[in-house]
Amino acid sequence: MSTLTSPQVRAPERPRPNASVIVAGVVLLALVVAGAWSIASLGINVATIASSLDNAVAFLDRMFPLDFPPLGETLGLIFETLAIVFLATALSVALSVPVALAAARPTARTRTSQGVARALIVLARAIPDLVLAIIFLRMFGLGATAGILAMGIHSVGMVAKLYADAIEELDDGPRESMASAGAGRRQQIVSAIPQVLLPQLIATALHRFDINLRTSVLLGYVGVGGIGLATAEALRTLNYQRGMALALIVLALCIVIELISGGIRAALMRSADGGITGGTWVDRALNRGRVTGVNDVTLTPPWGLARIQRFATVALLIVFTFLSLWQVDVSWSALGQGLFNLPETLALFFPPSAGGSMAALMGQLLVTVQIALAATLIGAVIAIPIGVLAARNVVANPYVHGFFRTVIVVVRGIPELILAIIFVVISGLGGVAGTLALAVGAVGLLSKLVADSLEETDVDVQEAQRTAGATPVQVFFSATLRQAAPAFVAHTMYLLDTNIRSATLLGVVGAGGIGFLLLNASRVNQFDVVTMILILMVAVVLIVEGLSMWLRRVVR
């Protein structure tokens, strides 16, 4: 008799990781090792921090009592700062919309124009606003004009990129149907895109307003007005009581603006998800010509609440623009004269030259990269646990995640320049101060991104595991964390990219790196050296950005 043997059931084999994933893992490990080497090379250790405690106590003694300016002067500084930031943000939006339309695949005229627009976006991001401010100060003199133009043009690098990406992610069906019906490019853009994209356009502008508010403090060190200039003047004279009082005002202002803009962005995003009929006035803002029945076509919306709100918002923005222009007192004659002298000004920056100190430039550039790597590693180690505890779907206790959300908001409100100044006073000039300042700043940025990424994971997968009897810890590591891991990598690389730019800028206050040489070159009118430093900075930024894009694509 023959015996029947059941075939052996083999366990499914795990898919082999492809070569790109393996290389990405090696690169990430190399970045961690480079961060640890940078920490050791810069001399950041427990002994260094402990030895600075006496300086910290002495700094606190010299800081108190805080010396706030008179109320009228304080309000004047606040209004001037907000006016500069508002005009810079408005300029960035005005410039970014046409650039984004040219850069987005569905709305670009040709591939050539799309490539040129994308190159302009990358270039705007790569050139620091501090360098632009130095150029514009040379052209237009001291004052708000240089700061508005510098922040506005630099912001195009972020705002236009986000706008272009958002346009490419839209459902292209309505635009294609209009194109097939014979509508021109302008008709397609005006009719098919703004109605859906408006909430995201406003939310991006609000986010950039937050960033520009912090940047305005830095630009005060090169002569731009507002609270930044007043803070720089106080700290240059070692008047820590006045300088830190102004820094506290900046902190409070940043937190208030962050809370207001965050609430508006959340409302806009909720309304966008709700659709046109169920959303708020923003969703109905451009809903003209909607067919409501067979014989009922609305060409002009009635003067209801939605139209009144829309009209009031536009009117308010116009009023803010004129009030801001009046507050900062832009000199149109100086602006025109500066543009007329543009060729003469640009000639001062070319050809680029190292001024006989290329070795010093490369050495400080290396220090800048070390500061960014060390700050990213330290910041990630601190920020990721805080972000996990701030995620509502990970920590159910509202008091716990509410506390850590508050910590994130407070830390995000502190401009990194103020942190760098404090650490320079405590730990002395050099890379230690810059690294610690950027590491603390990373807590505010990376923690928020981590918390948001965890909250955006698919809850159905987590609920399925809970139903199967998994513990909360098992659910977190096997479902929540696995979904958010690619976002963690992307956010950390974004932080490294940001830290390289910030490390350059913090050098202006002595926090180490090539930024100090940049400021010195501009002060002694060595503008050809400024151009050389800019070329080196742009090269490093583009390398890191290219690496970040590749890693995000591989680990997605």
Report the CATH number at residue 499: 1.10.3720.10
The whole-number pLDDT of residue 288 equals 41
At 315, list the tokens.
């009117």
Instruction: Identify whether residues 384 and 466 lie together within a single domain.
Output: yes
Decide: helix, strand or coil at residue 311: helix
Number of domains in the chain: 2
Q: Among 56-70, 286-300, 349-363, 497-511, name the one with the lowest average pLDDT.
A: 286-300
At 216, list the tokens.
């305005």
pLDDT band at 130 (very low <50, low <70, confident <90, very high): confident
pLDDT digits (tens, 9 = 90+) for 192-246: 565 566 667 777 888 888 888 888 887 887 777 788 888 888 877 888 888 888 8
**Which CA distances in Å does 469 have to 25, 462, 464, 474, 482?**
32, 11, 9, 10, 18
Asked whether residue 7 is domain-assigned, the answer is no
Q: How many other CB atoms sit within 10 Å of the CB of residue 72?
A: 8
Instruction: Identify whether residues 262 and 128 lie together within a single domain.
Output: yes
Asked whether residue 301 is domain-assigned, the answer is yes
Report DSSP letters for 145-170, one per residue.
HHHHHHHHHHHHHHHHHHHHHHHHHS
Q: What is the dihedral of CA 253, 259, 263, 266, to 10 degrees?
A: 110
Q: Using the CB atoms, write b or e for 4-32: b if 16+ within 10 Å.
A: eeeeeeeeeeeeeeeeeeeebeeeeeebe
The whole-number pLDDT of residue 258 equals 75
What lies within 8 Å, CB to CB, of 308 at 6+ separation is none
At 463, list the tokens.
């609920």
The candidate with the shortest Cα–Cα distance to 145, out of 222, 78, 239, is 222
Share of the chain above pLDDT 70, in %: 77
Using alpha carbons only, give the angle 408, 84, 164 rounded to the nearest 5 degrees. Answer: 70
Instruction: Identify whether residues 111 and 244 lie together within a single domain.
Output: yes
Instruction: Identify whether residues 272 and 402 lie together within a single domain.
Output: no
Average pLDDT, rounded, for the chain: 77
The whole-number pLDDT of residue 409 equals 80
Instruction: Identify whether residues 300 and 440 lie together within a single domain.
Output: no
- Distance between CA 419 and CA 414 in Å, rounded? 7
Asked whether residue 546 is domain-assigned, the answer is yes
Decide: helix, strand or coil at residue 223: coil
Instruction: Identify whether residues 90 and 234 lie together within a single domain.
Output: yes
Q: Which residue among 291, 311, 329 closes a domain?
A: 329
Instruction: Identify whether residues 309 and 420 lie together within a single domain.
Output: no
Decide: helix, strand or coil at residue 239: coil
Residue with the bigger pLDDT between 413 and 159: it is 159
pLDDT band at 309 (very low <50, low <70, confident <90, very high): low
Q: Among 301-310, 337-346, 380-389, name the one with the lowest average pLDDT.
A: 301-310
Domain containing residue 273: 69-329
Average of per-residue pLDDT across 523-547 = 84
The candidate with the shortest Cα–Cα distance to 443, out of 469, 479, 474, 406, is 406
Average of per-residue pLDDT across 291-320 = 62
Is the CB of residue 499 less than 8 Å from the CB of residue 509?
A: no
Q: Checking phi first, is residue 186 left (phi over 0); if not, alpha (psi -120 to 50) or beta?
A: alpha
Q: Does residue 548 have a pLDDT over 50?
A: yes
Q: Using the CB atoms, write b or e for 53-62: b if 16+ within 10 Å.
A: eeeeeebeee
Is the CB of residue 408 less than 8 Å from the CB of residue 390?
A: yes
